Structure 1
Amino acid sequence: MQRFAKWSVRHPGEYQSIVEVLLSNRSLTPEDISNSPDVLQDPCGMQDMGTLTRRILDAIERNERIVVFGDYDVDGVTSTAVLLDFLDKVGADVMPLLPDRFRDGYGMKPGGVQRALDEKASLIVTADNGIASFDAVDHANASGVDVVVIDHHSPQEKLPEALAIVNPNRLDCTYSFKGLAAVGVAFKVVQALVGECIPQQERRSYLNSLLDLVALGTVADVAPMVSENRVLTRRGLQVLAQTERPGLRALKEASGTRDQPVDTTTIGFFLGPRINSAGRLASADLALNLLRSKSGQEAEIYAEEINDLNQQRQQLQKAGVSQAEMQVEAEGPVDTKIVVVKGDDWHLGVIGLISGRLTESYRRPSVVCTEMRDDDTFTGSARSAGGYNMVEGIFRCADLLTEYGGHAEAAGFTGPTVNFPAFKQRLEEDADARLSNDDLTPCLELDAHLLPHHISLQTIDQLDTLAPFGSGNEPPLFLVPKCQIERMGAVGKGAHLKLSLDVGGQKCDAIWWRQGERVYELSEGDTVDVACALEKNTWNGKTRIQLVLEDLRSSE
Structure 2
Amino acid sequence: MRGISGKEWVFLWEEIEPPQEWVERYGKLGAQILANRGLKPEDLSKNLSDLLEYSKLEHIKRAADVIAWAIKNGKRIVLFGDYDVDGITSCALLHRVIKKLGGKVISVTPNRSTGYGLSKDLVQKLNHYADLVVTLDNGTTAIEELSLAKVPVLVLDHHNPREDVNYQNLSEKVLLVNPKLLDIEELKVVSTAALSMLLSYRLIGDDLMDYLYLPALSTVADAMELVGLNRPLVLEGIKSLKETLRKEGHYGIKELLKVLKDQENITVKDLSFYLVPRLNAPGRLHRAELSLKLLLEDREKEAARLVRQVESINLKRRQLQEILVNKALKKVEMYQTERHFIVLKTRPEYIGLAGIVAGRVANAYSKPCAVFAVGKEEATASVRGTPEVEVYNPLSQLSHMYLKWGGHAYAMGLTIWSKDLQEFETKANEIFSQVPRKTPTIHVDAYLPLRDLSQEHIRLIESLEPFGVGFEEPIFLSEELTISNIKVTGYGCFVDTKEGYSFYCANQNLVEKLRVGRARVLYSLSRKKHELVDLAWL
Same fold by TM-score, threshold 0.5 exceeded? Answer: yes
Name the structure 2 match of 1:18.
29
Evaluate the alpha carbon distance shift between residue 552 and residue 89 of structure 1 in structure 2; reply closer, same or farther with a 3 A threshold. same
Instruction: Render the CA deviation track for 1:197-224: whole Å, top value 9, x for unaligned.
Output: xxxxxx32x1211111111111111111
> Secondary structure in 2 aligned to 1:511?
strand
CA distance, structure 1, for counterparts of residue 287 and residue 357 of structure 2: 20
Query: Alpha-carbon deviation of 1:518?
Result: 5.1
Evaluate the alpha carbon distance shift between residue 407 and residue 128 of structure 1 in structure 2; reply closer, same or farther with a 3 A threshold. same
CA distance, structure 2, for counterparts of residue 464 and residue 416 of structure 1: 49
Evaluate the alpha carbon distance shift between residue 518 and residue 300 of structure 1 in structure 2; reply closer, same or farther with a 3 A threshold. closer
Instruction: Render the CA deviation track for 1:362-408: whole Å, top value 9, x for unaligned.
Output: 1111111121xx33111100111144332223321111120000000
Name the structure 2 match of 1:251.
256
Unaligned stretches of 5+ residues in structure 1 = 195-202, 538-545
Contact 1:491/1:516 (<8 A) preserved: no
Query: Alpha-carbon deviation of 1:90?
Result: 0.4
State the superposition RMSD in angstroms: 2.2
Instruction: Render the CA deviation track for 1:287-319: whole Å, top value 9, x for unaligned.
Output: 000000021111111111111111111122112
Contact 1:287/1:306 (<8 A) preserved: yes
Name the structure 2 match of 1:156.
162
Q: Which residue type is aligned with residue 253 of structure 2?
A: L
Contact 1:4/1:551 (<8 A) preserved: no
> Secondary structure in 2 aligned to 1:241?
helix
CA distance, structure 2, for counterparts of residue 551 and residue 175 of structure 1: 34
CA distance, structure 1, for counterparts of residue 334 and residue 349 of structure 2: 18
1:395 and 2:396 aligned = yes
Residue 367 of structure 2, aligned match among 339, 350, 364: 364
Name the structure 2 match of 1:86.
97
Contact 2:477/2:523 (<8 A) preserved: yes
Evaluate the alpha carbon distance shift between residue 300 and residue 536 of structure 1 in structure 2; reply closer, same or farther with a 3 A threshold. same
Contact 1:500/1:509 (<8 A) preserved: yes
1:548 and 2:531 aligned = yes
Query: Alpha-carbon deviation of 1:479?
Result: 0.9
CA distance, structure 1, for counterparts of residue 465 and residue 50 of structure 2: 16
Name the structure 1 match of 2:342.
339
1:183 and 2:193 aligned = yes
Query: Alpha-carbon deviation of 1:514?
Result: 4.1
CA distance, structure 2, for counterparts of residue 395 and residue 228 of structure 1: 29
Name the structure 2 match of 1:147.
153
CA distance, structure 2, for counterparts of residue 53 and residue 139 of structure 1: 23
Matches within 5 A, 1:420-435: 420-435=421-436
1:457 and 2:455 aligned = yes
Evaluate the alpha carbon distance shift between residue 45 and residue 286 of structure 1 in structure 2; reply closer, same or farther with a 3 A threshold. same
> Secondary structure in 2 aligned to 1:48?
helix
Instruction: Render the CA deviation track for 1:254-276: whole Å, top value 9, x for unaligned.
Output: x3446462111111111101110
Evaluate the alpha carbon distance shift between residue 149 and residue 345 of structure 1 in structure 2; reply closer, same or farther with a 3 A threshold. closer
| Worse-superposed segment, 27-36 or 416-425 | 27-36
CA distance, structure 1, for counterparts of residue 83 and residue 348 of structure 2: 21
CA distance, structure 1, for counterparts of residue 509 and residue 184 of structure 2: 49
Q: TM-score, normalised by structure 1?
A: 0.88
Name the structure 2 match of 1:481.
479
Q: Which residue type is aligned with residue 397 of structure 2?
A: R
Q: Which residue type is aligned with residue 168 of structure 1?
A: P
CA distance, structure 2, for counterparts of residue 262 and residue 520 of structure 1: 32
Query: Alpha-carbon deviation of 1:176?
Result: 3.9
Evaluate the alpha carbon distance shift between residue 494 and residue 109 of structure 1 in structure 2; reply closer, same or farther with a 3 A threshold. closer
- Work out the percentage of aligned pairs sharing the same amino acid: 28
| Worse-superposed segment, 336-345 or 242-251 | 336-345
Name the structure 2 match of 1:100.
111
Contact 2:60/2:198 (<8 A) preserved: no
Count residues in correspondence: 518
Instruction: Render the CA deviation track for 1:435-470: whole Å, top value 9, x for unaligned.
Output: 22xx1x231111111134641221111111111111
> Secondary structure in 2 aligned to 1:49?
helix
> Secondary structure in 1 aligned to 2:147?
helix
Evaluate the alpha carbon distance shift between residue 22 and residue 153 of structure 1 in structure 2; reply closer, same or farther with a 3 A threshold. same
Contact 2:33/2:474 (<8 A) preserved: yes
Unaligned stretches of 5+ residues in structure 2 = 18-22
Name the structure 2 match of 1:138.
147
Instruction: Render the CA deviation track for 1:190-248: whole Å, top value 9, x for unaligned.
Output: 12223xxxxxxxx32x1211111111111111111111111011011011123241111
Name the structure 1 match of 2:83.
72
Q: Which residue type is aligned with residue 234 of structure 1?
A: L
Q: TM-score, normalised by structure 2?
A: 0.91
1:315 and 2:319 aligned = yes
Query: Alpha-carbon deviation of 1:415?
Result: 0.8
CA distance, structure 2, for counterparts of residue 345 and residue 98 of structure 1: 19
1:51 and 2:42 aligned = no
Instruction: Render the CA deviation track for 1:162-190: whole Å, top value 9, x for unaligned.
Output: 532111111x4436431101111110111
CA distance, structure 2, for counterparts of residue 47 and residue 12 of structure 1: 48
Residue 470 of structure 1, aligned match among 454, 458, 468: 468
Name the structure 2 match of 1:231.
232
Residue 445 of structure 2, aligned match among 447, 453, 456: 447
Query: Alpha-carbon deviation of 1:114?
Result: 3.1
Q: Which residue type is aligned with residue 547 of structure 1?
A: H
Name the structure 2 match of 1:210.
211
CA distance, structure 2, for counterparts of residue 511 and residue 434 of structure 1: 35
Contact 1:70/1:97 (<8 A) preserved: yes
CA distance, structure 2, for counterparts of residue 281 and residue 80 of structure 1: 20
Name the structure 1 match of 2:384.
383
Name the structure 2 match of 1:8.
10
Name the structure 2 match of 1:292.
296
Matches within 5 A, 1:456-535: 456-485=454-483, 487-493=484-490, 495-500=492-497, 502=499, 507-514=500-507, 521-523=514-516, 526-535=517-526
Q: Which residue type is aligned with residue 251 of structure 2?
A: P
Contact 1:497/1:517 (<8 A) preserved: no
